[in-house]
Structure 1
Amino acid sequence: MTEKERTNFYSGLASEPLRGFARAVRVQDNLFISGTTAVNEKGDVVGIGDPYLQTKFVIQNVRNILREAEFRMQDVVRTRLFVTDLTNWKFFARAHREAFEKIRPASSIVQVQRLSDVRFLVEMEVDAIRGCSEAQFIDFHVSDELNKE
């Protein structure tokens, strides 16, 4: 079996070696970004109490990771958002839509009891495949066969 080249990326935050994980892992043309929160380079939480601002900051952190790993936003194929209060979904969705409107990756949003710091409102994981073309959009309709009697 041929081994695939693996590169781990670190942001310099103390939590990464302390908890034994990489900020992102690149294997050939695939990039897997760990849960990313609204923390700046000094380790300070950004946008405390503001779900929109935190999500925007998280996405900016994701952009920086993508760039460092030589990927583009258009290479993002999946996002997972973990949020502490789903009633704020419009704020998370607005920031996500602004960043990914022309890309529209597969996405999930899941409410969790809490994140690793009580000041975090959102955490995002991202998967990307290098070299993705501009998205083509195909509409389909979800079957409602089970609802018919």
Structure 2
Amino acid sequence: MSEPTRIPAPDGVAPAAHYSHVVMGTGRFVAISGQVALDENGELVGEGDPDAQARQIFENLRHCLAAAGATFDNVVKFTYFLTDTAHLPAIRAARTAHLADDRLPASSAVQVAALVRPEFLMEVEAFAVLPE
């Protein structure tokens, strides 16, 4: 199995948090749509609770990855959409529960004015690469 390669950033610039600046993969590309904190019944998990919402989102991502034959080890990029950057620690804690320290994907975080429903505090999309 060909693993994604994490490449140090030019000039030795260290990431500001747990992510990689550059991740290169070869194989089949998997795009996971933005996941929100809805459970299998379509019910909101964690109204007003960023930690609970982040945990549910990463559980939803796990299910989506599994449906594609992937795991978090195959993820090469996350994009976080947050209504408040104060929720970043919740995202980081949920991510850490699913990722090994040597498997850190590239990441972007964006604060947005709103998501599709006002009770959603965050949304996370993922990109993965599976071996050929």
Question: Shorter-chain-normalised TM-score: which range?
Answer: 0.7 to 0.9
Larger radius of gyration: 1
Once the 2 structures are TM-superposed, how far is the Cα of residue 42 of structure 1 from its aligned partner?
1.6
CA contact under 8 A between 1:29 and 1:129: conserved in structure 2?
Answer: yes
Higher relative contact order (CA 8 A, sep 6+): 2
AA paired with 1:129?
Answer: V
Name the TM-score, length of structure 1 as normaliser: 0.66
* Number of residues of Structure 1 aligned to a counterpart in Structure 2: 105
Unaligned segments of structure 1, at least 5 residues: 1-27, 133-149
Counterpart of 1:47 in 2: which secondary structure?
Answer: coil
1:47 paired residue number: 46
Name the TM-score, length of structure 2 as normaliser: 0.74
1:31 paired residue number: 30
* Deviating 4+ runs (over 2 angstroms): none
AA paired with 2:129?
Answer: I
- Counterpart CA distance in 1 for 2:100 and 2:35 is 20
1:92 paired residue number: 91
CA contact under 8 A between 1:72 and 1:130: conserved in structure 2?
Answer: no
Spell out, residue by residue over 1:104-123, the C-alpha distance to the aligned partner (whole angstroms, 9 max, x if none). 11011111001001110110
Once the 2 structures are TM-superposed, how far is the Cα of residue 97 of structure 1 from its aligned partner?
2.2
Counterpart of 1:127 in 2: which secondary structure?
Answer: strand
Counterpart of 1:61 in 2: which secondary structure?
Answer: helix
Unaligned segments of structure 2, at least 5 residues: 1-26
- Counterpart CA distance in 1 for 2:123 and 2:100 is 19
Counterpart of 2:33 in 1: which secondary structure?
Answer: strand
AA paired with 1:106?
Answer: A
Once the 2 structures are TM-superposed, how far is the Cα of residue 62 of structure 1 from its aligned partner?
0.6
* Alignment map for 1:13-32 (pairs within 5 Å): 29-32=28-31
Percentage of pairs with the same residue? 33
Spell out, residue by residue over 1:89-136, the C-alpha distance to the aligned partner (whole angstroms, 9 max, x if none). 22222222222243211011111001001110110010000139xxxx
* Alignment map for 1:53-132 (pairs within 5 Å): 53-102=52-101, 103-131=103-131
